[in-house]
Structure 1
């Protein structure tokens, strides 16, 4: 018997139990004592037939730590294997998980387990998007340091994730507020700066005139007042840092064509970017012939005609008229509201070196998001009319030839080129000289990343009176946040008060200088985190190119649809930039994208708009009413929120139903991209509870049959029983095909669960002799449990442990001394893949089965030919001759044709 335990390996510890201090005894050749088939009942050894709540809890308590240990033993270092990188969007450490978190992480956990069973090298990493405004607000309101508040929240949420049984690649954990992460965020910023893609200019911010501080949009209420002081918020121009995302607009727009369909997200990305048909070009501004040091970037959709420029048009709201520009006074003097105004300011095109006047337009706004546009009469009737009305000279630079083609004239060395060739040549020259030329749309803006906040990545720039802005040398990174003890929410950026930190020497001239006191938008931290996961502990670079090339792109990215535009755009931008910097081989960061729907809770709202807690609602009548006032309530389904009193605590739900039940409910209630209306009274929750009981029951049938003392012998089955077993074999292969497809193609795990439910029911209905003697039943049961394992790891681990102890198993292709989550994913039997020469086509007349006829495989998909063969057959002649056939429907997948006949 000892050798048997050695063969069983892992399961030896599960069956060698102490019953009243005496090890259990197993009579292996004749009968296994029932108490020993069970793996968690070390006290009784009984295999309970009902999978009740207490049993579920016992099973999950037993397996929880063991499954976690299983995952930790799997190496991720073998880069010779095919890889699968599944990534769920990392959370902000708010302190508490909500059901939306549970949904996204259950999806990623399930897919990761499935891919591991397919033999893939898998990572499913987790980290924390840990910088941000809430931590700073907590510091103001609760007198807590942002770092302490954040780390405390991370610790609590990590425990919550662990209690949910989620197996992440925790050795790859990253936290964006730690210096070992934001050092490399700063490094990438410097790379952008050196490439001319990070720059400063004036931009509008929300200004609290009482607290004398900048407010985030979230800190301004619907009335436009400050969240803290209550003052009316003003718009104020401050010098801000930008990342030039417009430089990659065309490349990112074009790359969308190479990506798989993203459930409408590609369309949202394309719309956000816009049609990249033009570019911005840079101008130097002068007044009275004197260079002012000011620059202006203006857009044109026809850069090939730039030598025909007559003017540069700016909107009345342009920063030059309202910020700290030296031209502000001159421009405001020239402004006459409602009129196109010629100004004393001129603009010198940095590509052509030609000088034209600056005009303030009569209309309030330009098209798209533009605030400056190049006027070229040769290509715009509107520009022609404006130039003529103001008496501005211009040249016609587009010549139409007799054959209808167009060429450039009066355009220096570009004269004689076709418009298409000149467009390409001029934009490339502008790009080479770093004076614009990057193809973009008239709606896309550069990314403003400055935040006047403490709790963010410091921008690694030193401002020197002599040298201007100077990047911190890479060897001096990270620029660490100073420790600040007092947070008041007043008086501008908190970093500005850290004088010892702010005052420093210039890295270039060593003179007195000051650090930049703005911090970066948290979207910068999350724009490259997927790359850090590939090499999270690298102290010398953001990531190893070799490891990034192996793991990237992310094979499946899972997250909320609300992040489908901005975050996804910024993440794609950083990946394109890193590709151009030779840091990574792949340009696009994500292959497949799964934008999961919301989990919505029911809300009860008074006519005044006030939301009520459920205990304040009377639900006994035909319509819900307020329990006290009897007012009728508006009942809707909305995103779960504390303020709407419709949230659900994941820990309470798990305590009530168990981990596997919650996982299955989330996966079964709706396709992942659809919203879930959280209502435990619907069919979804009872359905997954019943299914777990059926899984338990079918395994119990098998264990009891195989431990009954009767030796299983397949040759004892009669023809009817063999046919029954054959159907189970076919059904098993069909389910493997469909479930595998759902896991790899559409991620409709609700449909996968439905398929497994069908297989469970078929196995429960099998005759007792088929259960005992059939190889096919055993194989189908094993496949069922293995396929259910990624979705419900605890119950399937328990069931597999029970099956492992059954003697005389027929299925030698499973590793019986290994846990279920380490089994190979079932594959379709080769015989099932071999198409038969003839298909047995089922004939229905008015939805009633009437018989079958043989149909050649090569025509079984063709309705007209199948229709004809049926009419020519003896069965068709007997049943359909002389009848009026209204319509026929062929179902090739189920080999069925249905004739609708006039009665």
Structure 2
């Protein structure tokens, strides 16, 4: 369904926005999908804050304070995204191709062939209050579990868990350790011992797994070594098929059917059963920073975590301008926090109007986690009846990175500033004589390879910089920032030619009063028709590039092609053809979104008839109906050994057929002149732009 063109601006740091973030958190909390547990985090002992992995350098130091980062166990909030792993994986099939991101999402999620089951821990038969989720790659064998196994690095052994001391007493490094802690399976009702594994890692990110001796040689070895009992739950028949035994109401079911039945019932009982992979973790959302959105939960000494009532949202941070020092904490002023106004109810019709988002624009570094979390929340909201659509985004524009040149010492890996380097020789060296490695990396303050955009803008102008970025590469590709490359001179030449077109038209119109198309001769009329065709072709292609495939560099190439056509027009055409005027108007209007200042100046300088106001007030140009009725042709760029040699018009219906396009090019004047006597090794037809490249022997 076509949406209206209404625009909406959102500022995510304002309470009016994050009120709804907190509302969603409460919904997740009430659904059992938001929970707390201890987790290992990167701790900066100087700034007294948690750091993301990206804020820790290669030497394990904080990017800001320079302190050696510590690994510390802290209580953190998590969102149980693993419960939605299988639906998120399956839903990818219905989405359009996203620049390879669908495959990245699928790989991030992994094969969802197992699930978690929930257990309550006990010591001497008494509940400890600890709940543990353990992964099983074969959930249909859950009635055959003989023990629960955790890693030596598990939080239960190192955090503030009530069973910590019991587990530490039992732990024997280098061997499987049987403990006095037992785990009550909330699905089967069975109670099994907790074992500390001798292994340093399980598959993927797992730290807790089920031990089923009847289905695994390794689990069998552990059970025998610890003198544990187990139940056989699979019976193999002569034809190789297997059915369940000793599994209560699931006994007698084929193994595949039992898999579905057991996981479904576990989900219904809310004790696990959600299909996920061993490589996927739940989403850690805690932020130990003053500027983070407050989590709307009150920690009661007797009741435990209690969600803030929805009518009291948003929970805002206190305004404390004095807390500007490192490690400053707002906790001392918690009593000053104020209640907020009552929010409006969730408006379903507005959500359904705006979702799914037409275009999601994001960097490729966010192709898995950020995109995955956004998809998870929309799936959850659909299940809650808050929205009609399960997927939040339809189209995806993946931005590449603008990378800067980095210089680091080969021995230590320390990044250097440009002023710390001697560039006098062919190869740069550190001023202290150290050997330097030169690479291109994402711009970062810690790598000293960032660039102040204002400096480039002051040198070239904001429109030129914008055009350079758009022209340097398709949006999904990285750009190695070097304004001395061919892209910038090409952009500067194009801007100059646009200016020359307007100057040329002004000069021509000064020779006569008004255009008079009747004075044009046959050859000039044919030239005017060619301008008309190129104008319509450019409008169609540029509109597609702007709205469908986002190939802004290709859109600029098409505008440059129209510029070339207009530049070759005679003075009489400029004086008397409406086609030239209309084409120039369309050219300036289509340039405006990318270079608004330049386009406004060009528009103001054009002696265009019956056109008022600034270029930004004009409607987007449309293709003439007569052009749509004519045979559809594409202007194809012809390259020979990567060098442009001209263009050839080919029918749209064969424009993607390499053999047919090659034949038409060879039959054209360009082909006969430049390729007729040469041996063609290969012809490469671009799948995305109207271009064919002939590789020939020199």
TM-score (norm 1): 0.67
Which residue does 2:531 correspond to in 1?
728
Q: Which structure 1 residue ranges, 5 or more long, are not aligned? A: 1-80, 84-119, 124-168, 508-536, 810-815, 847-853
Aligned to 1:732, the other structure's residue is in SS state: helix
Deviation at 1:192, TM superposition (A): 0.9
Given that residues 249 and 440 in structure 1 are in contact (C-alpha distance below 8 angstroms), is that contact kept between their aligned partners in structure 2? Answer: yes
Given that residues 599 and 678 in structure 1 are in contact (C-alpha distance below 8 angstroms), is that contact kept between their aligned partners in structure 2? Answer: yes
Deviation at 1:653, TM superposition (A): 2.3
Deviation at 1:375, TM superposition (A): 1.6
CA distance in 1, matches of 2:288, 2:659: 71
Which residue does 2:87 correspond to in 1?
251
Match of 1:561 among 342, 364, 375: 364
Which residue does 1:174 correspond to in 2?
11
Aligned to 2:229, the other structure's residue is in SS state: coil
Given that residues 623 and 632 in structure 1 are in contact (C-alpha distance below 8 angstroms), is that contact kept between their aligned partners in structure 2? Answer: no
Given that residues 311 and 343 in structure 2 are in contact (C-alpha distance below 8 angstroms), is that contact kept between their aligned partners in structure 1? Answer: no
CA distance in 1, matches of 2:251, 2:541: 62
Given that residues 706 and 806 in structure 1 are in contact (C-alpha distance below 8 angstroms), is that contact kept between their aligned partners in structure 2? Answer: no
Match of 1:821 among 605, 616, 632: 616
Aligned to 1:377, the other structure's residue is in SS state: coil
1:133-282 → structure 2 map (5 Å cutoff): 172-176=9-13, 178-206=14-42, 213=48, 215-217=50-52, 224=60, 234-282=70-118
Given that residues 351 and 435 in structure 1 are in contact (C-alpha distance below 8 angstroms), is that contact kept between their aligned partners in structure 2? Answer: yes
User: Does 2:297 match 1:494?
Assistant: no
Aligned to 2:179, the other structure's residue is in SS state: strand
CA distance in 2, matches of 1:855, 1:613: 52
Deviation at 1:195, TM superposition (A): 0.5
Deviation at 1:282, TM superposition (A): 0.7
Higher deviation after alignment, 761-770 or 741-750: 741-750
Which residue does 1:371 correspond to in 2?
207
Task: Provide, for residues 399-447 of structure 1, a one-character-per-residue CA deviation record: whole Å limited to 9, x for no partner.
Answer: 3345544322222112222323322222222222221111111121222
Deviation at 1:689, TM superposition (A): 1.8
CA distance change for structure 1 residues 836 and 350 in 2, over 3 Å: closer, same or farther? closer
CA distance change for structure 1 residues 647 and 203 in 2, over 3 Å: closer, same or farther? closer
Given that residues 512 and 575 in structure 2 are in contact (C-alpha distance below 8 angstroms), is that contact kept between their aligned partners in structure 1? Answer: no
Task: Provide, for residues 474-493 of structure 1, a one-character-per-residue CA deviation record: whole Å limited to 9, x for no partner.
Answer: 22233332355456656xx9
Task: Provide, for residues 247-287 of structure 1, a one-character-per-residue CA deviation record: whole Å limited to 9, x for no partner.
Answer: 11112122222222222322332222222111110112223
Given that residues 43 and 51 in structure 2 are in contact (C-alpha distance below 8 angstroms), is that contact kept between their aligned partners in structure 1? Answer: no
Which residue does 1:419 correspond to in 2?
255
Deviation at 1:889, TM superposition (A): 6.9
CA distance in 2, matches of 1:461, 1:759: 60
User: Does 2:166 match 1:330?
Assistant: yes
Given that residues 177 and 196 in structure 2 are in contact (C-alpha distance below 8 angstroms), is that contact kept between their aligned partners in structure 1? Answer: yes
Task: Provide, for residues 2-54 of structure 1, a one-character-per-residue CA deviation record: whole Å limited to 9, x for no partner.
Answer: xxxxxxxxxxxxxxxxxxxxxxxxxxxxxxxxxxxxxxxxxxxxxxxxxxxxx
User: Does 2:235 match 1:315?
Assistant: no
CA distance in 2, matches of 1:542, 1:349: 40
Q: Which structure 2 residue ranges, 5 or more long, are not aligned? A: 642-648
CA distance change for structure 1 residues 378 and 821 in 2, over 3 Å: closer, same or farther? farther
Given that residues 343 and 357 in structure 1 are in contact (C-alpha distance below 8 angstroms), is that contact kept between their aligned partners in structure 2? Answer: yes
**Greater relative CO, 1 or 2 (CA 8 Å, sep 6+):** 1
Given that residues 340 and 361 in structure 1 are in contact (C-alpha distance below 8 angstroms), is that contact kept between their aligned partners in structure 2? Answer: yes
Deviation at 1:197, TM superposition (A): 0.7
Given that residues 312 and 342 in structure 2 are in contact (C-alpha distance below 8 angstroms), is that contact kept between their aligned partners in structure 1? Answer: no
Given that residues 515 and 578 in structure 2 are in contact (C-alpha distance below 8 angstroms), is that contact kept between their aligned partners in structure 1? Answer: no
1:119-130 → structure 2 map (5 Å cutoff): 121=5, 123=7
Match of 1:717 among 520, 529, 540: 520
CA distance in 2, matches of 1:674, 1:759: 25
Which residue does 2:270 correspond to in 1?
434
CA distance in 1, matches of 2:397, 2:345: 26
Match of 2:576 among 773, 788, 810: 773
CA distance change for structure 1 residues 368 and 885 in 2, over 3 Å: closer, same or farther? closer
Which residue does 1:575 correspond to in 2?
378
Which residue does 1:482 correspond to in 2?
318
TM-score (norm 2): 0.85
CA distance change for structure 1 residues 385 and 603 in 2, over 3 Å: closer, same or farther? closer
Given that residues 61 and 67 in structure 2 are in contact (C-alpha distance below 8 angstroms), is that contact kept between their aligned partners in structure 1? Answer: yes
Which residue does 2:464 correspond to in 1?
661
CA distance in 2, matches of 1:273, 1:213: 33
1:62-101 → structure 2 map (5 Å cutoff): 82-83=2-3
User: Does 2:443 match 1:640?
Assistant: yes
Deviation at 1:617, TM superposition (A): 5.7
Given that residues 117 and 135 in structure 2 are in contact (C-alpha distance below 8 angstroms), is that contact kept between their aligned partners in structure 1? Answer: yes
Given that residues 365 and 371 in structure 1 are in contact (C-alpha distance below 8 angstroms), is that contact kept between their aligned partners in structure 2? Answer: yes
Q: Which structure has the larger Rg?
A: 1
Match of 1:295 among 131, 149, 152: 131
Deviation at 1:618, TM superposition (A): 6.0
Task: Provide, for residues 649-671 of structure 1, a one-character-per-residue CA deviation record: whole Å limited to 9, x for no partner.
Answer: 22232232222112111111222
Task: Provide, for residues 656-694 of structure 1, a one-character-per-residue CA deviation record: whole Å limited to 9, x for no partner.
Answer: 222211211111122212222333332222222221121
User: Does 2:280 match 1:444?
Assistant: yes
Deviation at 1:743, TM superposition (A): 1.8
Task: Provide, for residues 154-197 of structure 1, a one-character-per-residue CA deviation record: whole Å limited to 9, x for no partner.
Answer: xxxxxxxxxxxxxxx5xx34242x33333332222111111011
Aligned to 2:273, the other structure's residue is in SS state: strand
CA distance change for structure 1 residues 642 and 839 in 2, over 3 Å: closer, same or farther? closer
Given that residues 860 and 895 in structure 1 are in contact (C-alpha distance below 8 angstroms), is that contact kept between their aligned partners in structure 2? Answer: no
Higher deviation after alignment, 819-828 or 347-356: 819-828
Aligned to 2:372, the other structure's residue is in SS state: helix
Deviation at 1:295, TM superposition (A): 2.0
Deviation at 1:869, TM superposition (A): 12
Deviation at 1:300, TM superposition (A): 0.5
Deviation at 1:366, TM superposition (A): 1.5
RMSD: 4.5
1:342-353 → structure 2 map (5 Å cutoff): 342-353=178-189
CA distance in 2, matches of 1:767, 1:233: 70
Aligned to 1:174, the other structure's residue is in SS state: coil
User: Does 2:265 match 1:458?
Assistant: no
Deviation at 1:298, TM superposition (A): 0.5
1:819-858 → structure 2 map (5 Å cutoff): 819-834=614-629, 836=631
Deviation at 1:867, TM superposition (A): 10
Task: Provide, for residues 511-542 of structure 1, a one-character-per-residue CA deviation record: whole Å limited to 9, x for no partner.
Answer: xxxxxxxxxxxxxxxxxxxxxxxxxx997348
Which residue does 1:92 correspond to in 2?
none
CA distance change for structure 1 residues 341 and 632 in 2, over 3 Å: closer, same or farther? closer
CA distance in 2, matches of 1:794, 1:837: 34
Task: Provide, for residues 277-304 of structure 1, a one-character-per-residue CA deviation record: whole Å limited to 9, x for no partner.
Answer: 1111011222333333322211102112
Deviation at 1:868, TM superposition (A): 11
CA distance in 2, matches of 1:894, 1:214: 53
Higher deviation after alignment, 394-403 or 363-372: 394-403
Given that residues 560 and 595 in structure 1 are in contact (C-alpha distance below 8 angstroms), is that contact kept between their aligned partners in structure 2? Answer: yes
1:561-640 → structure 2 map (5 Å cutoff): 561-604=364-407, 614=418, 622-624=426-428, 634-640=437-443
Aligned to 1:673, the other structure's residue is in SS state: coil
CA distance in 1, matches of 2:684, 2:162: 78
CA distance in 1, matches of 2:407, 2:152: 47
Task: Provide, for residues 206-234 of structure 1, a one-character-per-residue CA deviation record: whole Å limited to 9, x for no partner.
Answer: 557x7795543467665556789987655
Given that residues 112 and 275 in structure 2 are in contact (C-alpha distance below 8 angstroms), is that contact kept between their aligned partners in structure 1? Answer: yes
User: Does 2:474 match 1:671?
Assistant: yes
